[in-house]
Amino acid sequence: MSVSFQLRDAPDNLWNPASGVGRTYLGVARLIEAENPEFPALDTWLSVWTSDDYWIDPAGLAGWLRVVLDSSVVGHTQYLRLTRGFLEISLGMLFRAGGDIEAANSDQAELIAVGRELARTLVR
């Protein structure tokens, strides 16, 4: 089994990880949302299609990532260490979907560079 993340009305997946990996990704997203109620809601970029299939809205994801990248999630050393993989995968899906985002500092530039690389290598 796997979890798929894809664009609405697009034939290819943006990312299709194993179920446990996909559920972990969703859990981190939900935790970031719960800990930061001032952030845009997850449903601005992530929609449930079926229990294992999710639609991604690239514009919503870009807006959400901009807020996250400019927050303590990246600004706090330990928080960044805990969320680095989640952010890199999110950026990889954004780039694979044709979206873009600019870095405002060196930490963001590092995450974005890895996200660009992942856009080429994430499991479909």
Where exactly are the structural domains of the chain?
4-121
pTM, two decimals, is 0.96
What's the rounded mean pLDDT across residues 67-91? 97
What distance in Å separates the CA atoms of residue 6 and residue 97, rounded to the nearest whole number? 8
Decide if pLDDT at 93 tops 90: yes
Decide if pLDDT at 11 tops 90: no
Query: What is the full DSSP assignment across 30-96?
Result: HHHHHH-TTSPPGGGTEEEEETTEEEE-HHHHHHHHHHHHTSHHHHSHHHHHHHHHHHHHHHHHHHH
Question: What pLDDT, on the 0 to 100 scale, is given for residue 68?
Answer: 98
What distance in Å separates the CA atoms of residue 54 and residue 84, rounded to the nearest whole number? 21
